[in-house]
Amino acid sequence: MLKLDLSQLAGFLPQGYAVSRQTGLKKAADMLAAGNGPGGDFTGWVALPEQYDREEFARIQAAAERIKKQSQVLVVVGIGGSYLGARAVIELLSSPNYNLKVKDTPDIYFAGNGLSTDALLELIALIGDRDFSVNVISKSGTTTEPAVAFRIFKGMLEQKYGKEGARERIYATTDRARGALKGLADQEGYETFVVPDAVGGRYSVLTAVGLLPIAAAGIDIAALMEGAARAMKELSIPGMDNPAWQYAAARHALYESGKSVELLACYEPSFRFFAEWWKQLYGESEGKEGKGLFPASVEFTADLHSMGQYIQQGQRLMFETVVRFEPKGTFLIPDDPENVDGLNFLSGKPLSFVAEQALRGTILAHVDGGVPNILIRMPQISESSVGYLIYFFEYVCGLSGYLLGVNPFDQPGVEAYKKNMFALLGKPGYEEMKQKLESRL
Ligand code: PA5
């Protein structure tokens, strides 16, 4: 399914860089499988593609069908790991223009992933007087951004449909037992879905967190899980033939050779939010204790005309990981009998041929410019290939965190801004901190 090409690392890494990491990778893979490494309580995603709650899965599919029937719009409220996976998969498998398409599924808008007044007002105007449902997603149930957004959309639903009607249109995805959202959902009688204890936000796209919005968009979530299950099976085989081990070894060796940025590039505009999901996955998993590659992303060829200059000649701090999908369709470049634009050397050639030469030329140019390249070739974008790629990146992330010597499943740094914000907002219990912060601003 996935083909990893590391041939363009040859001039950058010493021979044997992979073999020298084999013992570390074995240890990392064993810790992921046994759940006994740092953060081992959060390795529930490792076996998830096979060991998930089938009864809940069927409820997710049923809820998605109900949402399709009852609403023209689904508002998905969540942030970070409770947001990016669903958007990534919907955009990659459907389109960034999903909402503009003629379809029998609801428009899907994402809310609660920021605090912009303008964005909120725009979203309310976009919903207009259409029927809508809400899927509120928060593992902790206390994150400020989605909590504020949910209060607003809950109020709108209750005003429009009454309390009883609103209850039929609110779907809460949260912790099995704890948190303010769980309490609210139980009290109000919303249908609830579970973020499993052992799965952290950024690894949760294949739980109800991602699956309900994805299914509501008409995507075959069973096929998505099957793709992930295939990856799980293939990538659990130990040894340096395993592409997950190879990728983890390469990025660790590049990091140790002095590279500090991994640039994820793709030639599909629909990949943009997948890259955002990937950035959270790697950024939150590795970026701690003063360590970790900074995950960045670009969209080719568009960004070759903006970031391309820096990549080619700026500070030599990065390597590139390029994801290339087989195209689904064919488009032949037309002939122009007058050849005014001088492009007839391309007449009759598929556009994908041009893209392929752009990819090959770019790889060589960047390698010549001192940017090592990792190429991931994928078949066509489909539920199955996307499920596979999700699991591949998650698994490599777990391996990479352990190779780096960090806990890839916590995010202590995220708390700092939250505490400051609570204090500055005047949340009870933060009075002393508020005074200290105010004196510094
Ligand atoms: O990956 C993570 O753990 C975070 O990005 C969380 O998903 C994010 O902060 C939202 O948290 P919650 O789902 O508790 O609202």
CA of 200 to the centre of ligand 1 (A): 8
Residue nearest to atom 2 of ligand 1 (CA): 201
Paired tokens of 109:
């808008």
Q: Do domains 3-35+225-408 and 48-219 have the same CATH topology?
A: yes
Question: Which residue type does 214 have?
Answer: I
Q: What is the pLDDT, as a whole number, of residue 340?
A: 96
Q: How far is CA 271 from the centre of its chain?
A: 10
In CATH terms, the fold of domain 48-219 is: Rossmann fold (3.40.50)
Q: Is 202 in the pocket of ligand 1 (CB under 6 A)?
A: yes
Q: What is the pLDDT, as a whole number, of residue 129?
A: 97
The domain defined by 3-35+225-408 carries CATH number 3.20.20.140: no
- Angle 391-392-393 (CA atoms, 0-180°, nearest 5)? 90
For 264, which DSSP code? E
Phi, psi of 142 (to 5 degrees): -125, 5
Residues 6+ apart with CB under 8 A from 279: 264, 295, 296, 297
Question: Which atom of ligand 1 lies nearest, measured to the CA of 414?
Answer: 9
Paired tokens of 353:
């041929």
Question: Which residue type does 350 have?
Answer: P
Phi, psi of 297 (to 5 degrees): -145, 155
Q: Can you tell me the distance from the alpha carbon of 23 to that of 34, in angstroms, rounded to the nearest whole number?
A: 16
For 331, which DSSP code? -
**Which of 296, 319, 292, 295 has the alpha carbon at shortest distance from 408?**
292
Which residues are identified as catalytic?
284, 305, 418
Paired tokens of 104:
């029998």
Residue nearest to atom 5 of ligand 1 (CA): 80
Q: Is 182 in the pocket of ligand 1 (CB under 6 A)?
A: no
CA dist 195 → 167, 173, 201 (Å): 20, 7, 8
Q: What is the pLDDT, as a whole number, of residue 70?
A: 96
Residue nearest to atom 12 of ligand 1 (CA): 138
Paired tokens of 280:
């959270």
Per-domain residue ranges for the chain? 3-35+225-408, 48-219
DSSP state letters, 48-85: TTTSS-HHHHHHHHHHHHHHHHH-SEEEEE--GGGTHH
Segments of the chain with pLDDT less than 70: none
CA of 386 to the centre of ligand 1 (A): 22
CA dist 382 → 321, 354, 363, 378, 386 (Å): 20, 22, 25, 10, 6
